[in-house]
Amino acid sequence: KNQVEQSPQSLIILEGKNCTLQCNYTVSPFSNLRWYKQDTGRGPVSLTIMTFSENTKSNGRYTATLDADTKQSSLHITASQLSDSASYICVVPYSGGYQKVTFGIGTKLQVIP
Amino acid sequence: EAGVAQSPRYKIIEKRQSVAFWCNPISGHATLYWYQQILGQGPKLLIQFQNNGVVDDSQLPKDRFSAERLKGVDSTLKIQPAKLEDSAVYLCASSSVGGGEQYFGPGTRLTVT
């Protein structure tokens, strides 16, 4: 069964601190993994896409890592800002006759001053 | 490039009433998705279109939900009759190909009383 699990479900950190969000998947065959950011009241927005051959990819203060052997990905946020408060969703496409996607439930991050 | 448009942004109806949502995807995107996102959860795929054909509607409650994409561009999602548990945000997304990076609209927040 194709599944995506994220942890923690929620996280509160102080502004300026770093944090790491986790995503474990059982999707096979694997093609890529995506991290989305969803602000309250808005649709998800893509942060980064990791392919099988990529171990690390950065987008500003966001750094995603991928371990295809253990089927784990992490999203590290450096020097957090209040605007980072959002839900972060891990998405993994799979082929079921046609390309489909499996969403994680997301990690709700709250950055407090 | 214009993003994915959805309307209305908010809708409040009583149970057993009907409601319809509209989505206009990014120009040229062949794949269109409708998701249901209940508060505190990740998006759940309701239906995926490739042009005007249905690729996946396995999680669409077909006794009350229907969707169409007649000309392979705009799409409508209808609920008839609505139940209290249908209260959620309904997200529309599009991608250039199935399984490709998805671009989300702002969503329609439905409240069923």
What is residue A2's predicted lDDT score, i.e. its pLDDT? 66
CA distances from B77 to A81, B21, B65, B86 (A): 37, 5, 7, 13
Which tokens belong to B108?
């329609």
Query: Considering chain A, what percentage of its residues have pLDDT values greater than 70?
Result: 93
| Chain A residues near residue B48 by CB distance under 8 angstroms | 98, 100
Residue A49: how many other CB atoms lie within 10 Å: 17
pLDDT band at B18 (very low <50, low <70, confident <90, very high): very high
Helices and strands of chain A, counted as H and E runs: 0, 11
Residues A12-41 pLDDT 10s: 999 999 999 999 998 878 888 899 999 988
CA distance A97 to chain B (A): 9
pLDDT digits (tens, 9 = 90+) for A68-88: 899 999 999 999 999 999 999
Contacts of B100 in chain A (CB under 8 A): 99
Specify burial of residue A24 (Cβ count, 10 A radius: 0-12, 13-18, 19+).
middle
Interface test with B, best of A4, A47, A98 (most B CBs within 10 A): A98
- Start-to-end C-alpha separation, chain A: 41
> Which residues on chain B are in Cβ contact (under 8 Å) with A108?
40
Phi, psi angle pair for A93, to nearest 5°: -75, 155
Which helix (H) or strand (E) segment is A5 a member of?
A: strand A4-7
- When the pLDDT of each residue in chain A is averaged and rounded to a whole number, the result is 89
CB contact under 8 A, B44 and A103: yes
Q: What does the alpha-carbon distance between residue B33 and residue B41 come to, in Å, rounded to a whole number?
A: 17
- 8 Å CB contact of B43 and A46: no
Alpha-carbon A54 to chain mean position = 15
Burial of B100 per CB tally in 10 Å (0-12, 13-18, 19+): middle
Residue B62 has pLDDT above 90, yes or no: yes
What is the least distance, in Å, from the CA of B101 to any CA of chain A?
8
Residue A1's pLDDT is: 65
pLDDT at residue B109 is higher than 90: yes
Q: Which residue of A has its CA nearest to B50?
A: A98
Res. B55: pLDDT tops 80: yes
Are A89 and B43 in contact (CB < 8 Å)? yes
- What is the model's pLDDT at position A105? 82
pLDDT at B41: 83
Tens of pLDDT, residues B68-80: 998 889 999 999 9
Across the range B82-97, mean pLDDT stands at 94
